[in-house]
Structure 1
Amino acid sequence: MNLSIYEFNNQGIRIVLNNNNEPLFCLADVCKSLDIKNQNPKRFDLNIGGLHKMSLPTSSGMQTLTFISEENLYRIIFRSNKPEALSFQNWVFAEVLPTIRKTGSYTARHTAYEELNRLHMQEKVSKQKGSFHSHGMHKRKHEKHLNALRIKTCEENIQLAFEGITQ
């Protein structure tokens, strides 16, 4: 079993590949990253075929953990109204699905490059429009913080895409 860890909302999510090379996500990690306290699979109305029990070594020794399919991952994320899930939903609904509808596919690396260029341009223009008024400076500081987070995410997505090519 090949275990890898994906970072979402500053939380590591353990992922393993099943026999068909499809990703399975650790339910406990997904719930923790979405700030969901009750991690019982029954409460999410998940597809039973997408639930898998696996024994893995942890810091507390061997433990049996529940892993879920990609389909079940989306079920959990799209049912949640927590801010952590809403940011993922917004990305899927505003970017991924419209791009698939318009072009027939979605390429994360190409989209990340476009978004990275747009954010850098927005930062450049925003710096030139800076204001000395307290409200303008506060707004600019918040905008700069959000852009920095978005730029970091784009750069990580580009890096993940390149790692996928070389592996």
Structure 2
Amino acid sequence: MNEIMPFMFGENVVRVITDGNGEPWFVAKDVAKALGYRWNGAVCIAHVPEEWRGVRTVLTPSAAQRMLTLSEQGLYFFVARSDKPAALPFQKWLAGEVLPALRKTGRYEVSGRQPVLEPPASFPPEALRLRPAMRQKLWRDALNTARLDDGGTPAALRWFAYLCGMVAAMPPAPTPARDKVRAFFWQCCEQAQDYRVAAGTLYGAFCRWCKETGQGDVPSMKAFGILMQEFAQRCRSNGSFYDGVRLKPAA
């Protein structure tokens, strides 16, 4: 599905879809409503040259829908021939905000970089299990989803927590493995603020403990990581580590 960037013109959301060539296409229904037209489907934009009209898939709160769109040229054509009072403010908004933002952060600038959006100051617990790049992507997705549903920052934060939870969700591990990890933690580890231990180091210590104490089959590193979340938060940033825990000093 093509990338969607929502913009606000007053109280109206105008969605812009970036196609595979990096060109912007504006949702015609959004443009018509922003200018004050009553939307009546293709008839509303029938006067726009055919090569400047199209149909694109748009994600809505209910489902993906096929919607009529206007290219950048088609949008100029449509707005320039409008006699609505909002036409001039819309043109100024388009030239002063939307197109500069698209060219600065959209996919059809020379560098091809994506926009960087600041995530919330404090992450939900689920987000801390994800890599920074994934958190950034999900925050952007949450913002876009909230705007399409006419929601503000609180709605975006709710969507962010929900999306992080879906991505970070992992299946529960078997009970015998849980018992082994709990026993290992209480015998060999301790919770310690401002400490962290590399995930590989901790799992290596767990494997050695299992062998030395005759625990039988050793749970996988993935199962170990799931169960260790009972005691410490696993974080990912240039490697994987557990925060707030350390191995007990050797006696």
TM-score scaled by structure 2? 0.35
Q: CA deviation at 1:35?
A: 0.8
User: What is the aligned partner in structure 1 of residue 81 from structure 2?
Assistant: 79
Q: What's the % identity of the aligned pairs?
A: 25
Q: CA RMSD in A?
A: 3.1
* Structure 2 residue ranges without an equivalent (≥5): 106-112, 116-251
Q: Unpaired segments of 5 or more residues in structure 1?
A: 97-107, 109-155
Pair 1:6–1:81, CA change in 2 (3 A): same
Secondary structure class of the residue paired with 2:86: helix
Change in 2 beyond 3 A, CA 1:161/1:14: closer
User: Residues 81 and 3 of structure 1: is their aligned pair in 2 closer, same or farther, counting only changes over 3 Å?
Assistant: same
TM-superposed CA distance for 1:32, in Å, is 0.8
Trace 1:142-161 onto structure 2 (pairs within 5 A).
160=101
For the pair shown, the structure with the greater C-alpha radius of gyration is 2
Q: Which string of whole-angstrom CA distances, capped at 9 and with x for unpartnered residues, describes residues 17-75 of structure 1? A: 12321110000100110011144334441121222212233123222111110111111
CA distance in 2, matches of 1:67, 1:161: 17
Aligned length: 104
Match of 2:246 in 1: none
* Aligned: 1:50 with 2:52: yes
8 A contact 2:14–2:31 mirrored in 1 = yes
1:161 and 1:3 mapped to 2: Cα distance? 11
Aligned runs of 1:107-122 on 2, under 5 Å?
Answer: none
TM-score, normalised via structure 1 length: 0.51
Aligned to 2:25: 24
- Counterpart contact for 1:51–1:69, Cα < 8 Å: yes
Indicate yes or no: 2:44 matched with 1:11: no
> In the aligned structure 2, how far is the partner of 1:163 from the partner of 1:46?
27
| Displacement of 1:166 | 7.5
In proportion to residue count, which structure has more helix?
Answer: 1
1:60 alignment partner in structure 2: 62
Instruction: Deviation per CA, 1:116-154: give whole Å up to 9, x if none.
Output: xxxxxxxxxxxxxxxxxxxxxxxxxxxxxxxxxxxxxxx
Shift in alpha-carbon separation, 1:19–1:8, aligned structure 2, 3 A:
same
Partners in 1 of 2:38 and 2:103 — Cα distance? 35
